[in-house]
Amino acid sequence: MRLHNVLHLSLLAAAAGTALAATPAAAADIGGGISVGGTATLVSDYRFRGISQSDRRFALQGGFTLTHDSGVYAGIWGSSIDDYVANGSDQEVDFIAGYHHTWGGTTLDFGFVYYYYPGSHGANTDFIEPYVSVAHTLGPVTAKVSANYAPSQGALTIGNGDEDNFYLAGDLSGSFGDSGFAASAHIGHSFGPSILTIGDEYTDWNVGLTYTRGPLTLGIQYVDTDATAITPNGRNASGSGVVGSIGVSF
């Protein structure tokens, strides 16, 4: 979920990390207290922390999650990306594991994501990032605060040595009764001089609207950042844009 070397850009989405903590609505019980579910999505632009990973073009995404009644979960999520993101790789594969527990309306979720870029050439592009979040739901509205910290790793460096990265975010979401419509808002800030922050800290934000009917979800989102990131063909990967999506859960 990041741009490597050529742009000194970064990144991860729907960012995968905590997104897999919640079992998809269509998850099936396979016995032993374990349920499995998946998603498949087409997006008009794969944005991670506000920065395009697909050169502002369409991307295919999908994933599976196994969740135990205890709250332990593990999953895999992938997306097509542009080959400038990770030294020639055109795929991102995220391996996720974590634990979540709910007390009343409050949910604690923590775990880690391992970002893997198959087919990247001549550079260390893979890295690990632990995360933690606390969410509280009141009626139809959920507020969440999350933090991701990637410890010092060679894959995050711009120059010599290793770099780390810290990402802090707040999210607000809510549904409109039984209409199938839901709205969301997000703001996040990336700290540190690593490749994940394009060499300098920056802020990203978005607002979105989704409509869900059965297993199908349609979405539209406005995304922007205060970063500057230009792709090799001159596109502004960090500029404002409207992203559409269509997805199915199973």
In-domain check, residue 3: no
> What is the Cα–Cα distance from 35 to 115, expressed in whole angstroms?
24
What is the arithmetic mean of pLDDT over 40-55? 95
**pLDDT greater than 60 at residue 13:** no
- 213 located within any domain: yes
Of 166-170, 234-238, 246-250, give the lowest mean pLDDT range.
Answer: 234-238
Q: Which pLDDT score, from 0 to 100, does residue 135 have?
A: 98
Residue 7: inside a domain? no
Amino acid of residue 6? V
User: What SS3 class is residue 200?
Assistant: coil
Q: Which two tokens stand for residue 43?
A: 């997006």
> What pLDDT, in 10s, does the model give residues 194-229?
777 777 899 999 999 999 999 999 999 999 999 988
pLDDT at 229: 83
CATH of the domain at 84: 2.40.160.40
**Domain assignment present for 1:** no
Does 4 reside within a domain? no
Confidence of residue 19 (pLDDT cuts 50, 70, 90): very low
Three-state SS annotation for 69-124: CCCEEEEEEEEECCCCCECCECEEEEEEEEEEEEECCEEEEEEEEEEECCCCCCCC
Q: Report whether pLDDT(174) > 50.
A: yes
Closest CA to 109 of 165, 67, 62: 67
Note down the domain range covering 227.
Answer: 16-249
Taking residues 231-240, report their average pLDDT: 87
Six token digits for residue 37: 């579910």
pLDDT at 221: 98
Percent of the chain predicted with pLDDT > 90? 68
Q: pLDDT tens digit string along 83-125?
A: 877 877 899 999 999 999 999 999 999 999 999 999 887 678 8
Residue 2 forms part of a structural domain = no
Query: 3 pLDDT band (50/70/90 cuts)?
Result: very low
Residue 1 binned pLDDT confidence (cut-offs 50, 70, 90)? low
Q: How confident is the model at residue 151 (pLDDT cuts 50, 70, 90)?
A: very high
What is the mean pLDDT of the segment spanning 32-57? Answer: 95
Residue 131 lies in a domain: yes
Check whether 11 has a pLDDT greater than 60. Answer: no
Q: pLDDT-derived band of residue 8, with 50, 70 and 90 as boundaries? A: very low
- Rounded to a whole number, what is the distance in angstroms from the first to the last CA of the chain? 24
The residue that leads in pLDDT, 5 or 172, is 172
Spatial distance between the Cα atoms of 246 and 231, rounded to a whole number of angstroms:
26
Q: Which of 105-114, 151-160, 233-242 has the highest mean pLDDT?
A: 105-114
Q: What is the pLDDT of residue 21?
A: 40
| Residues 6+ positions from 104 with CB-CB distance below 8 Å | none
> Is residue 9 included in any domain, yes or no?
no
Q: In total, how many domains does the chain have?
A: 1
